[in-house]
């Protein structure tokens, strides 16, 4: 017999963590990760790959404002300007995870699809149209967050940690092997994960913040906050090595770019949110 009915199961592992600020657990983390992998690699990648989208550095530059849009929008709930909710029928659901990822993801996909149509119909560059719409959507929220900044010292520490880690690790590993940092997407993937790792490390180590994700909580419980930053560095290096060693065919280059894009996004999205939250909420 099941210990919980389906509504009770959803309430315990999905709804309560949102409304009660309990963060993530092994159940919702696993479900969200599986859904993300399926949607990304079995729906989004094939759809846009067939339509000629190249997941390279130029594409990342075009999609970056959409990442900023989501991260800066998320701060509105952190500032308690919008009440969070666990129901998809409530607007508050779309200001916290996973709702905000769904909303920004759907908006990004629809915008990219429309931009491809604009290129075919009106001979407009799809990535330029795509990026422009992203900046138009993001700039009001970015401006609002920047005008609300208080903790410039904390933001400075995070930026220094990102820059120092990037320069040291890139210099060392690029010297050791031609595999590492051989393309711009390696840089973006690494910077994304460094942003997440550095923001989390600085916020917890020096400003008394806590962590709500399962794996980081486990790591930091054993080895302290610095372990999360080190784990992020190790993760990107392993991904770069495995992907470059496994996908060597020319026709696999777009898949490689998409993998590095995903690594960059899942780093930048929470990392920029944490950086802004530390700056706004001190």
- Decide if pLDDT at 174 tops 90: yes
State the Cα angle at 66 between 17 and 110, rounded to 5°: 95
pLDDT band at residue 1 under the 50/70/90 scheme: very low
- Taking only the tens place, the pLDDT of each residue in 196-207 is 999 999 999 999
What is the overall mean pLDDT for the chain? 94
pLDDT band at residue 103 under the 50/70/90 scheme: very high
- Percentage of the chain beyond pLDDT 90 is 86
pLDDT for the residue numbered 6:
83
pLDDT for the residue numbered 253:
96
What burial class does residue 76 get, using C-beta atoms within 10 Å of its C-beta: 0-12 exposed, 13-18 middle, 19+ buried?
A: middle
What's the rounded mean pLDDT across residues 50-60? 97
- Taking only the tens place, the pLDDT of each residue in 10-46 is 999 999 999 998 889 999 999 999 999 999 999 999 9
Q: Give the per-residue SS3 of the chain.
A: CCCCCHHHHHHHHHHHHHHCCCCCCHHHHHHHHHHHHHHHHHHHHHHHHHCCCCCCHHHHHHHHHHHHHHHHHHHHHHCCCCCCCCCCCCHHHHHCCCHHHHHHHHHHHHHHHHHHHHHHHHCCCHHHHHHHHHHHHHHHHHHHHHHCCCCHHHHHHHHHHHHHHHHHHHHHHHHHCCCCCCCHHHHHHHHHHHHHHHHHHHHHHHHCCCCCCHHHHHHHHHHCCHHHHHHHHHHHHHHHHHHHHHCCCHHHHHHHHHHHHHHHHHHHHHHHHHHHHHHHHC
Cis-peptide, bond into residue 223, ω within 30° of zero: no
Q: Up-side HSE of residue 134: CA atoms within 13 Å toward CB?
A: 28
- Percentage of the chain beyond pLDDT 70 is 98
pTM of the model: 0.94
């Amino acid at each position: 017999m099941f210990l919980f009915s389906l509504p009770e199961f959803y309430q315990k592992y999905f709804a309560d963590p949102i409304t009660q600020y309990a963060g993530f657990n092994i159940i919702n983390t696993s479900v969200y990760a599986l859904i993300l992998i399926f949607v990304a690699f079995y729906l989004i990648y094939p759809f846009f790959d067939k339509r000629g989208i190249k997941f390279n550095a130029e594409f990342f530059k075009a999609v970056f404002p959409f990442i900023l849009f989501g991260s800066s929008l998320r701060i509105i709930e952190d500032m308690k300007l919008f009440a969070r909710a666990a129901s998809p029928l409530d607007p508050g659901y779309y200001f916290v995870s996973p709702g905000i990822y769904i909303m920004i993801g759907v908006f990004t996909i629809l915008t990219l699809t429309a931009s491809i149509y604009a290129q075919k119909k009106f001979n407009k560059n799809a990535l330029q149209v795509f990026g422009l719409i992203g900046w138009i959507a993001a700039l009001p929220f970015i401006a609002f967050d920047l005008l609300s900044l208080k903790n410039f010292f904390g933001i400075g520490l995070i930026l220094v940690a990102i820059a120092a880690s990037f320069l040291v690790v890139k210099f060392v590993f690029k010297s050791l092997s031609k595999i590492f940092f051989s393309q711009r997407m390696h840089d973006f993937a690494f910077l994304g994960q460094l942003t997440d790792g550095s923001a989390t490390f600085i916020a917890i180590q020096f400003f008394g913040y806590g962590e709500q994700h399962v794996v980081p909580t486990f790591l930091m419980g054993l080895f302290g906050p610095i372990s999360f930053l080190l784990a992020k560095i190790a993760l990107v290096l392993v991904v770069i090595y495995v992907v470059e060693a496994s996908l060597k065919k020319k026709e696999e280059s777009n898949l490689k770019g998409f993998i590095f894009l995903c690594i960059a996004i899942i780093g930048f999205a929470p990392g920029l949110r944490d950086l802004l939250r530390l700056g706004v909420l001190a």
